[in-house]
Amino acid sequence: MENIYVKLKIPTANIIEKKYLKEFNKTYVIYEYIDGKTLFELTKELETKKIEDIGKHIGNHLSKFKTIKTNKEKLINLYESELKDLVDKLYYVKEYYNNNVNKQLEFIDLERLCKKINEYKKYIYNIESSFIHKDINLNNVIVNNNETYFIDTDGGKVSFRALDFRGICWWTWDGENKLKEQAIYRGIFKGLFDGNIPNDFHKELAFTIIYEFLLKIEEASRNNDMRRIEYIFSKFGDIFNRTNYFEDYKFDWFN
User: So where are the chain's domains?
Assistant: 38-254
Mean pLDDT by 10 residues, the chain (255 residues): 92 93 94 94 96 97 94 96 97 92 90 97 96 94 95 92 90 90 97 96 97 97 94 96 95 93
Q: Which pTM value belongs to this model?
A: 0.92
* pLDDT recorded at residue 175: 87
Q: Which CATH number fits domain 38-254: 1.10.940.10, 3.90.1200.10, 3.30.300.10, 3.40.50.1220?
A: 3.90.1200.10
Convert the chain into a string of H (helix), E (strand) and C (coil).
CHHHHHHCCCCECCEEEEEEECCCCEEEEEECCCCCEEHHHHCCCCCHHHHHHHHHHHHHHHHHHHHCCCCHHHHHHHHHHHHHHHHHHHHHHHHHHHHHCCCCCCCCCHHHHHHHHHHHHHHHHCCCCEEECCCCCCCCEEEECCEEEECCHHHCEEECHHHHHHHHHCCCCCCCCHHHHHHHHHHHHHHHCCCCCCCCHHHHHHHHHHHHHHHHHHHHHHCCCHHHHHHHHHHHHHHHHHCHHHCCCCCHHHC
